[in-house]
A and B are shown apart, each in its own frame.
Chain A
Amino acid sequence: MNAALLTFDFVLLAGLLGVAWRCLASTDLFRAVVLFITFGLLLAIAWVRLEAPDIALAEAAIGAGITGALLLVTLERLKHIMNRPRTDTDHDPAPPPDPVASDADAPGAAPTGDAASRAADAGNAALSCAPAPARGRWITLVVTVGLAGLLMATLATQEHDPGLQPTVAEHMDVSGVDHGITAVLLNFRSWDTLLELAMVLLAGLGAWSLGRHDALPARPTPGPVLPGAVRLLLPVAIVTGVYLLWAGSHAPGGAFQAGAVLGAAGILVSLARPHELPDPDPRLLRIGVTAGALLFLAIGLWGLFAGPALLTWPSELAYPLILIIETGATLSIALTLVALFIGGRSPREDT
């Protein structure tokens, strides 16, 4: 049994390294992105093997799913930008593509014959990257192999340490929840989580500051299948998200996984959009995006003045407070992920 598991570990690690290598050595960006998504899914299996089901959930939903969607839509945008005839010599940043124009080349009005294949060729050329030049090959190889050797030597000589697991187990009764990771995230080390929510918020604000959003360049082929599937999957995704949020207090799950599932549902809706979706009210959107960090901070400050200390809660109130914070965090993470996928502010904000 042990030998079989060991074989599995070796095959999995070899697969991970092989997929990562093929991904980084690829000259075709689309292939690299697909291999990266595969890498994320294999990584989720590795996390299960390392007894980390929470991380495996997050990796499959965020690392493979959301990152993959973001990468694919970025490739479409790059293809769109690079295929545009570049005759304008002014230094102004090019205006975002006209939504009306991008509607015209929707697949419904697909060009036929030569034009289509030429456009496809140009698109593929925009999404390729020449292999790395031979110059400097050996020095890079020596440096990275040396670094890997040093890291492995350090890891091999490391003393075994039980870590913080006994400490966490000892204090679980005051944390307000029954799941170690949620207790660490939202009680023992709530600073990390607050800063992480701030980081998500900053990434969203950074993307918004880069300008107005253009229409998503690629539209799925019209037809009843995708809207039908979305109609089927959306309620399930919402129930799953809420279930994960609730399950986080006693089992693998929590705000990040729930936010990722809901964000993925949002991305699916914005991709399928059987009819053009109206832009959300900017004020509501801003409140939603900042809700997680602000709610967390407000409750943390309440802890400073009325409770034990900053970002600390009395143990009898810990469960409801953690649930409130997690709900806000789920909402913010989901909205920010969808906003990052759509990219940029909505045009309504400028008016």
Chain B
Amino acid sequence: MIADLLTTVLVLAGLAFFAAGTLGLLRFPDVYTRLHALTKADNLGLGLVVLGLMLQAEGPAMIFKLALIWVLVLAAGATAAHMVAQRTWTHGEFERRE
């Protein structure tokens, strides 16, 4: 029961961070700030969601898989953000359309 409640709170908190990151993606003016908002907020949000789901896991294997997912998303997200930013840096400024 406590676990269920904690899961709900953690997942909702994670979703709030996802919403904040998405808002940043939509509202911030250039590539760097958008990446900043998206990667920081989403990594934390995913961490909270994963933590919440771990409380519902059936065994250590499931907990390990969830942790692995988080670590892999962190690594992939950091790499992708770095590459997008570096590409923007070397290939001219991002221009806002519309």
- For the complex, give the distance between the alpha carbons of A117 and B78 in Å: 27
Q: Which of B68, B75, B78, B91 has the most CB of A within 10 A?
A: B91
Q: Which parts of A83-119 form the interface with B (CB within 8 Å)?
A: 107, 110, 116-117
- Bin the interface of chain B by size: 10 to 19
Across the interface, A229 reaches (CB within 8 A) one of B76, B87, B92, namely B76
Q: Which parts of B53-87 form the interface with A (CB within 8 Å)?
A: 68, 72, 75-76, 78-79, 82-83, 86-87
Contact B76 A117 (CB under 8 A): no
Given the known inter-chain contacts A110-B90, A116-B91, A120-B91, please indicate yes or no for A233 contacting B83, CB distance below 8 A: no
Q: Could you count the A-B residue pairs with CB atoms below 8 Å apart for me: how many are there?
A: 35
On chain B, the residues within 8 Å of A110 by CB distance are 90-91
Across the interface, B75 reaches (CB within 8 A) one of A107, A221, A232, namely A232
Contact A221 B87 (CB under 8 A): yes
On chain A, the residues within 8 Å of B72 by CB distance are 233, 236
Chain B facing A: main interface SS: helix
Contact A225 B82 (CB under 8 A): yes
On chain B, the residues within 8 Å of A107 by CB distance are 87, 90-91
**Chain A positions 268 through 299: 1 when the CB is less than 8 Å from some CB of chain B, otherwise 0:** 00000000000000000000000000000000
Nearest B-chain residue to A110, judged by Cβ: B90
Contact B79 A229 (CB under 8 A): yes
Contact B91 A226 (CB under 8 A): no
On chain A, the residues within 8 Å of B83 by CB distance are 220-221, 225-226
Contact B75 A233 (CB under 8 A): yes
Nearest A-chain residue to B81, judged by Cβ: A225
Distance in Å: Cβ of B67 to nearest Cβ of chain A: 13
Given contacts A225-B83, A226-B79, A232-B75, 9 further A-B contacts (CB under 8 A): A107-B91, A110-B90, A221-B86, A221-B87, A223-B82, A225-B82, A229-B76, A233-B75, A233-B76
Q: Which B residues lie at the A interface, using CB under 8 A? A: 68, 72, 75-76, 78-79, 82-83, 86-87, 90-92
